[in-house]
Amino acid sequence: MEKALTQQPINLVKVVLFGPESTGKTTLSGQLARHYNTVWAPEFAREYLQGKWNNERKTCEQHDLIPIAEGQMDLENELAKKADKVLICDTDLLETKVYSEEYYGGFVDPKLDEAAIANTYDIYFLTYIDTPWEADDLRDRPEQRLEMFKAFENALKKYNRPYVLLKGNKETRLKKAVAIIDALLTKKENLYSFSDTLTDLDMHFMHQSPDTPNYDM
């Protein structure tokens, strides 16, 4: 599998917000990251495509999907190293694969297809379309929200991904998501914590003798 699309191994509870545009994924990502005092990986495609629109007045094209996927995995892998037991992902490569299939007549680059299926997460939160549509430079298909939602749900079922449907207002969604993540945290041991690595580093220097040579200088 392409190295740039490969998920680096790290023992975290990995959560994906998954679903159509304008369904509250980014809002919930930030809420969950604050709740667990951890980091969240934003949707790389937003920045990439906004730049394309600003500079070229063009929206996403088929050849953009691999750079988007590579940028997303780079973000996820780098931010995982700064997470505290939980990593929140605003999207994943399976979502990119769904968009590719829906927008380009079923086409998916083989490299994207392989990585989207191979990368794994502990839970997907599928966000329902009961949120107001908020238009911007990039969003389209407001009249096809249900069709897109079904495409996302079908992908989760097809690839046997663990998922929970989130409906309702922000507070309802957050409460349900927290309960599920809390349950996952009790089942996994020796989870990676960036704060622990900082503590270990501080303790190392605290106990280092002034006379101990430092070969890293």
Tens digit of each residue's pLDDT (9 = 90 or more) over 87-144: 999 999 999 999 999 989 999 999 999 999 999 999 999 999 998 767 554 556 666 8
Contacts 24+ apart (CB under 8 A), 154-160: 155/94, 155/97, 155/98, 156/18, 156/94, 156/124, 156/126, 159/94, 159/117
Residue 132 falls inside a structural domain: yes
Q: Is residue 8 part of a domain?
A: no
**Domain boundaries, position 126:** 13-189
Angle at 20 between CA 15 and CA 26, to 5 degrees: 50
Residue 4 lies in a domain: no
Is position 203 within any domain? no
What is the residue whose two structure tokens read 């329902």? 128
Identify whether 2 is part of a domain: no
Give me the mean pLDDT over the 26-36 stretch: 96
Q: Which segments of 18-144 does DSSP mark as H helices, in order?
A: 25-35, 44-56, 65-80, 93-103, 110-118
| 17 in Cβ contact with 123 (< 8 Å) | no
The predicted pLDDT at position 213 comes to 43
Q: CA geometry: angle at 162 spanning 157 and 165, to 5°? A: 80
Average pLDDT (56-69) is: 87
**Residue 80 in this model has a pLDDT that exceeds 90:** yes
What's residue 196's pLDDT? 74
Count of structural domains within the chain: 1
**Higher-confidence residue: 50 or 102?**
102
With residue 40 as reference, give the H or E element that holds it. strand 39-41
94 located within any domain: yes
Look at residue 116 and tell me if it is in a domain. yes
Output the domain CATH number for residue 109: 3.40.50.300
* pTM (2 d.p.): 0.86
- DSSP symbol at 16: E
Q: Is the pLDDT of residue 199 over 60?
A: no
43, 127 in Cβ contact below 8 A? no
* 3 state SS of 167: coil
